[in-house]
Amino acid sequence: MFECVDLRCEDLQDPVGVDESNPRFSWKLSSDRKEVFQTEYEIIVDDMWHAIVKSDQCLYVKYDGLPLKSKTKYNYRVRTTNNYGDVSPFVYGNFTTGLMGEPVSGKWIGQKQRPEKVAAYINKVNCEEFKTAYIFATAYGIYEIYINGQRVGESFFTPGLTNYNKRLQYQMFDVRDYLKKGENEVKVYLGKGWCCGRYPFQTDLKGFKDFPAFILQMEIDGHTVLKSDETWKYYDSPILFSELYDGEIYDSRIENTYQNEGLAEIIDYEYDNLVWNIGSQVKVVEEIKPVRIFKTPYKQTVIDFGQNMAGWAEFSGSGKSGDIISFSHAETLDSSGNFYNENFRTAQNDVTFILNGTNNQKYHPHFAFEGFRYIRIDKCTFDISLENFTGKVISSINTTSRIDTSNENLNRLFKNVLWSQKGNFIDVPTDCPQRDERVAWTGDAQVFISTALKNANCLAFYKKWLLDMKTEQTDDGLVQIFIPAIREKQTSSAWGDSATICPWELYKASNDRDFLFDIYPMMKKWVNYIKKQGNSPFLWNDGFQLGDWLALDSTDGSYEGTTDKYYIATAFFAYSTIITSKAAKALGLYEDEKELLHLFENIKKEFLKTYTDEYGMPYCKTQTAYVLGLFMNLFEDKKRAAKELNELIIGNGTKLTTGFVGTPYLCFALSQNGYIETAYKLLLQEEYPSWLYSVKQGATTIWEHWDGIKPDGSMWSKNMNSFNHYAYGSIADWIFSEACGIKTDEDNVGYKNSIIAPKPYKGLKKCFAEFDTSFGKIASGWEYINNNKIKITINIPCNTTSKIILPDGKEFIVKSGEYSWEIYN
């Protein structure tokens, strides 16, 4: 068996609406033989391009055929030959080009008079026989399109969250299957969304735009048959109220009643910021059934979905016209077993549905989503049971990784990481999906990206967000603490450093040099920005800093920990500089590389002079200070630093004190410097504070705080207490890349050349990890067969090579396939 699988065009499967004149194709090889390499590929794009190339390239092969036409579907197929002479059967894919720079003919329409209302905009179109039918649409706001009552496409919250004034993604839909011969009704629901509704921390309390508007253009066989203009009518929609954070009120009696007719107005919004939808869109990725319905001590009726998630509790059922059900959401119960949602702060998350008397009605909010495990029935005029609800899990990604160990709590912790990733990948990488934030904090994103990239194919997802970051960077290089933002410009180390860390991690995972090239100017500009901060070009020692956010060593109850903020800032300055030098090297920009390496040396010198004692050890004796110095290669005497860090941790009862900044590197700093046992002990620690503490408390997602719920059952606070915050989930990366030992070679990224160096530990009998790389699944794991004998198993994908370093020190190179070894340890 030799196959070519998982065809992708610009990281997406069969994308519709691609504005690239040379789109790039990628595929994976699959074979039951070992040591398989591609020796040749053949790619045919309709009658536009036919290439047969002797090469092992299977990622980002650039289209090089006749000029692609706009708004056209192209079918392509790929087959490959391997080093055994096997030829794979053709595998088929397609992509559809978008506007390719053509102006849209649809006009921005909306209604200035009733910006609070979610209106239904309606128009008609007549159809005869046709071959192709596409809709191009976008909105300032969020929109849904219906043709003859049927919702178009499977995506939600289009056009997504971007830096709207510079980049507004338009969507293209193939609507052939929605149209019938004769008259068709096209309807658009237009909500406020991120753009015109509530958006956190706005300085002027206004959204990106004052009121929503949309553009739509339908083309049949290449002719525009319908476009948004002043002929569109609007009516009251059944969506009486909808806000992303606050929930929705939906009166199904109003559906198709065409009340309060008015004519849409042309709105004077810009057209030159439209870009194609390179990101992956939000879809329903899973459905779960609730597990119990019960009365709380306060006699409230609560339904438990058994899992904290982002999405909706979909109602389905029948009742009389005018029957009503209202419910609110919560992530947890309090210590007495009562419904608890005070941690949502000002986000209401209330949903009301009014029935119209038809049978089997189904409803979930259109322009709102919730982060929840429980719902409380606040009002209901008819009988309900568990059967009436389904948990609809929404996300921009599907997770594909696996970690399986002999410790059930650890396995649950990993599940929690996956759930927090799903729930926080809602078009942008958010901090949390429930309270009144849900924005893409750059710090949280950089902390988690190396984990995220292993758990799911999120290349397109991050690329889209990084382009927003790039367009939002100020002329002097500042990168905001969340992106996109509408507020005064503000940054902090470890948050702004997302500008270097995210592109570099993305490059390491993807092998996409073109993207690195496009984004590199942002990385360099960020380093230059830091250079201008502080009273020396080699220190960042002034201005606002978030510090080691939520660290436990804070002495004054603040969120920021006690690690010297400028120690952190200067360490990250060094780290961003070294990362940017690596990117320069990967791009062949050797002058830049040299300059950046020189800068790094100077920063390191100044850092040691300013922040360390005569032994080169930090004045500030926190775990995070040691962790950063070690992980970011700033200490001369690493041995001593590692020993002191280890003593600090042991002296603290083998417990951590680190926050957002130190935690992701904590176990790495230990295991890479001779203290693997302490790293494992922290990982397996069950007492507070630890990763497994939350699991023991029944967590089903990763908590924002080590003590979200305290050992006595009380909440640590209601102000900053999300139960679905992925930052501390970055520990999964340590399991993948240290415990199971899988890393990419930085000179041959994307796991084209990998290094696998598993590090077994007797306190855990078994640890196995696998994830999907751009080449295919990579896996590594170990199991103690008896007290001193271990079985190591690895699997590496076709077309790649791996350097294996076994725990007994033996090193060798293997090519694709599954291998196992038994060794004494």
User: Which span sits near ligand BGC by CB under 6 A: 154-162, 305-313, 435-443, 521-529?
Assistant: 435-443
Taking the complex as a whole, the smallest distance from the CB of residue 462 to ligand BGC amounts, in Å, to 17
Considering only CA atoms, which of 600, 473, 602 is closest in space to residue 525? 473
Q: Which of residues 657-676 bind ligand BGC (CB under 6 A)?
A: none
Give the whole-angstrom CA distance, residue 665 versus residue 817. Answer: 31
What is the Cα–Cα distance from 192 to 7, expressed in whole angstroms?
36
Residue 730: what residue type? S
Rounded to the nearest whole angstrom, what is the least distance from the CB of residue 374 to ligand BGC in the complex?
21
Tell me which stretch binds ligand BGC (CB under 6 A): 337-345, 384-392, 429-437, 678-686.
429-437
Smallest distance, Å, CB 666 to ligand BGC?
Answer: 18
Residues contacting ligand BGC: total by CB under 6 A: 8
Integer-rounded Cα radius of gyration of the chain: 27
- Cβ of residue 717: shortest distance to ligand BGC, in angstroms? 12
* Closest separation in Å from C-beta 670 to ligand BGC: 24
- Choosing from 394, 403, 546, 764, the residue that interacts with ligand BGC (CB under 6 A) is 546
Nearer CB in complex with ligand BGC: 290/429: 429
Q: What is the smallest separation between the CB atom of 690 and ligand BGC, expressed in angstroms?
A: 20
Q: Is residue 245 near ligand BGC by the rule CB under 6 A? A: no
Alpha helices, H only, 783-824: none
Q: How far is the CB of 445 from ligand BGC (least distance, A)?
A: 9
Q: How far is the CB of 343 from ligand BGC (least distance, A)?
A: 11
Rank residues 23 and 443 by Cβ distance to ligand BGC and give the closer one.
443
**The amino acid at 822:** E
HSE value, Cβ hemisphere, 13 Å, CA-based, for 384: 28
CA angle 628, 631, 634 (to 5 degrees): 75
Cβ closest to ligand BGC, residue 30 vs residue 420: 420
- Least Cβ distance, residue 437 to ligand BGC (angstroms): 5
Instruction: State how far the alpha carbon of 763 is from the alpha carbons of 527, 637, 653, 676, in Å.
Output: 42, 29, 17, 11
Distance (Å) of CA 243 to CA 43, 238, 240, 248, 698: 47, 14, 11, 7, 31
SS (H, E, C) 764-787: CCEEEEEEEECCEEEEEEEEEEEC
Nearer to ligand BGC, 31 or 722 (CB): 722
Q: Which string of DSSP letters, residue by residue, matches 280-325? A: PPBEEEEEE---EEEE-TT--EEEEEEEEEEEEEEEEE---EEEEE
Nearer to ligand BGC, 144 or 431 (CB): 431
> DSSP H helical segments within 712-795, as ranges?
731-734
* Residues 620, 733: Cα–Cα separation, whole Å: 27
Binding of residue 548 to ligand BGC (CB under 6 A): no
Q: Of 191 and 429, which has the nearer Cβ to ligand BGC?
A: 429
In one letter, which amino acid is 662? Answer: G
For position 496 contacting ligand BGC by CB under 6 A, the verdict is no
- Closer residue to ligand BGC, CB minimum distance, 444 or 472: 444
- Paired tokens of 409: 């709590």
Interface with ligand BGC, residue 443, by CB under 6 A? yes
Give yes or no for residue 444 binding ligand BGC (CB under 6 A). yes
Q: Distance (Å, rounded) from C-alpha 480 to C-alpha 484?
A: 8
Smallest separation (angstroms) from ligand BGC to the CB of 442: 8
DSSP category for residue 152: P
Interface mask (CB under 6 A) for ligand BGC, residues 383-422, using x and -? ----------------------------------------
Q: Which of 10, 331, 437, 553 is close enough to bind ligand BGC by CB under 6 A?
A: 437
Interacting span for ligand BGC (CB under 6 A) from 15-23, 98-106, 430-438, 750-758: 430-438
Burial tier of 348 (Cβ tally within 10 Å: 0-12, 13-18, 19+): middle
C-alpha closest to that of 568 among 599, 543, 598: 543
CB of 738 to ligand BGC, least distance (A): 25
Q: How many CA atoms lie within 13 A of 333 on its CB side?
A: 22
Question: Considering the rule CB under 6 A, would residue 441 count as an interface residue with ligand BGC?
Answer: yes
List the one residue from 431, 497, 564, 606 that touches ligand BGC (CB under 6 A): 431
Between 432 and 682, CB nearer to ligand BGC: 432
Tell me phi and psi for residue 436, to 5 degrees.
Answer: -80, 45
Using the contact rule CB under 6 A, the part of the chain among 437-445, 569-577, 642-650, 754-762 near ligand BGC is 437-445
- The rounded distance, in Å, linking the Cα atoms of 186 and 743 is 51
User: Which residues from 570-609 bind ligand BGC, rule CB under 6 A?
Assistant: none
**Amino acid residing at 227:** K
Contact stretch for ligand BGC (CB under 6 A) within 271-279, 416-424, 436-444, 454-462 = 436-444
- Cα-Cα-Cα-Cα dihedral of 769, 309, 368, 158, to 10°? 10
- The span from the CA of 314 to the CA of 174, in Å, is 27
Task: Determine, following the binding rule CB under 6 A, whether residue 141 of this chain makes contact with ligand BGC.
Answer: no
Find out whether 540 and 569 touch, Cβ atoms under 8 Å.
yes
Q: Give me the residues that bind ligand BGC (CB under 6 A), please.
A: 431-432, 437, 441, 443-444, 546, 549
